[in-house]
Structure 1
C-alpha cells in the first residue's frame, strides 16, 4: 500500500508516498483509481486475518504441535477438553481455515518458536 491513500467518490485519489507525507499525487484516471480501490480492499480483508491468538491459544497450539492430545493439552492447561475444542475452532475461524492441518500451515509462518510458548510441565507431587 502507498503511504497514504484517500479516494473521493471513486473519481479522485490522493496518494502519499511512504515516509514523505508532504508529497501527494492526485490521480484521476478511472483505471488507476479502480486498481487502488481493489488494492485497498484486499489489504483491508487481509488485515482481518492478522489478529493475534490469545496467550492461551498460543500455549495450546504449542502443546498440540508437541504431540499432545486434546485431553493431555487440556490437563496441562488446566481447562476442559471442550475448552480445547472451542479454542481450536476459534483459531480455525480466526485464520479462515477448515481443518487442523490447514490451521497448522497457517500458523507455521506466524507463530515463531513454539517451544517458548509451552506452559511449565507440572512437577511431581511432594508429600510432607
Structure 2
C-alpha cells in the first residue's frame, strides 16, 4: 500500500548522476520487476565485470518467472564473454536477439519505468522515465526492433549465419554511401575499425573502386544495397 501511494508522487522524469546512483536505481527497478524486462544494448560485447553483475541480477529475475528480452548487436556473436552470459541466461529462460545496429541503450521494467543514457558517456548520467506515454513509445520501439532481429541460440544454431553477415555488410555500406568515416561506423556497430575497413576493402575490390568517393558512387549506382538480399562481399 505504501509503494502504491508513493508511486503517485514520483516525478515523470528523474536525472540520475554518477555510476553508483544509476546502479542502485537500476537494481531496485529490476528487483521490483514482476512481468517483463526489456533491454536494448548497443556497443558490441560487454565488459566482463558488467556481465558478472548483470548475470547475478538477471538470474534472480528469471527465477521469479519474469520474461526477459534483450537485443544486442550482431557483433556480440563473436565476443566470448558476452556469449557465455547469453548462454547462461537463455538456459534460465531469457530471450536474446541481435541486429546489425541497435538505436540506443535503454531498459524498461514492466512497461512502467524506463532508463536511458543522457549522453554518449553512458556511465555518467541517466534519465529515469515514468511518464506513461514515453515508456509506451520506448516499448513500441523495442518491439519493432525485436520483430526485425535474429534469435541467438548458442547451443543449437550457427552464430554467424549468411543473413547476419549480409546484414552487417549492408549496414556498413549504407553508412559509406552516407559519407560516414570508419571510426563513426565502428562506434555505431560495436565493432573494431579494422573489421569495418576489411568489409569495405572487400567490396572495393569487387567493384574495382580506387577511392572512398568512387566506392560510394559505385554502391549507389550498382543496386547492391537495394532490397534485403546479400551484399556478397566475402
**TM-score in terms of structure 1 length:** 0.41
> How does the TM-score come out when normalised to structure 2?
0.24
